[in-house]
Structure 1
Amino acid sequence: MSELTAHLDVPLDRGAPAAARRAVTAVLGGWGFKDADWLDAAAVIVSELVTNAVRHGGGCVALALESHDRRVIVSVADGSSVVPRRRDPDEVGGRGIALIEALSEGWTVENYRGGKRVRVRLVPCPRGGEA
């Protein structure tokens, strides 16, 4: 099976997480991923990544999807080199990394064009993944 990729620039405003969720759900659905719970988990992960990039990252925010077989990697790049870390939740936030860890197989951070890129390996789609 060949690899599928999608690259999206994300607007730097409050609507960015919702726009990213809609775009990712549409792309993954177009690629044949149909499991509703899996798509919901992917949308939550994307929302958390984009929210953090817009709130803390600076510069342009770029979202990418990669798929090979039923494996999907979501990545979000921004202009900050500060590595995200898990922190205690409060009334403002602090739940994003815990959510990402609970809904994925894992995540990494790499230097990317003067900033960073956070890459998240989604769990395999249980059914309805690409053929």
Structure 2
Amino acid sequence: MSTLTAHFDLPLDGAAPGWARSAVTAVLGGWGLRDRAWLDDAAVVISELVTNAVRHGGGEVVVSVEAYGSQVIISVADGSSVVPRPREPDGTGGLGLRIIEKLTDRWYVEPYEGGKRVRAELPLCPGSPVTAEGTSRTEPA
């Protein structure tokens, strides 16, 4: 099973979610994951993760994209150790983690360099060149 990874830093400002969307979808597309609806969902997830890091985190924002065979995980680290929790929408926010829950198989938080990293496991991309067994769909079984 091959492992693909990409990591990049983002400035802690309001433009960061847009930059993250563009970069992550370009990386995933470059890895052969090209289902438009799936990429749109991945873009929403990374945007929500980065928005939370900018609004509630601190320090640098580090984005990682990892593919382990068919499993794709996107994560965002920031300098705050405060663990995000879903909350009721209040007009200023509160929907981000609920959206992430809906579009991912699961999400979780782990410590990261004095802060935290929020990791989101995406469902398998339809038409992915890699199956759940880690073999190419075009190779004989």
TM-score range, shorter chain: over 0.9
- Alpha-carbon distance in structure 2 between the residues aligned to 1:16 and 1:4: 23
Structure number with greater Rg is 2
Which ranges of structure 2 fall in alignment gaps of 5 or more residues?
A: 131-135, 137-141
Q: What TM-score do the two structures reach when normalised by structure 1? A: 0.97
Mapping of 1:1-131 within 5 angstroms?
1-130=1-130, 131=136
Runs of 4+ aligned residues of structure 1 deviating over 2 Å after TM superposition are: 128-131
Q: What SS does structure 1 have at the residue aligned with 2:105?
A: strand
- Structure 1 counterpart of 2:80, one-letter code: S
Structure 1: gaps (5+ residues): none
| Alignment coverage as a number of residue pairs | 131
Deviations 1:13-59 (A, max 9, x none): 11000000000000000000010000000000000000000111000
How many angstroms apart in 2 are the aligned matches of 1:108 and 1:73?
11
RMSD: 0.9
TM-score, length of structure 2 as denominator length: 0.90
1:2 deviates by 1.1
- Post-superposition shift, 1:96? 0.4
State the one-letter code of the partner of 1:17: P
What letter is aligned with 2:91? E
CA displacement at 1:128 relative to structure 2: 3.5
Q: Helix, strand or coil: the match of 1:93? A: coil
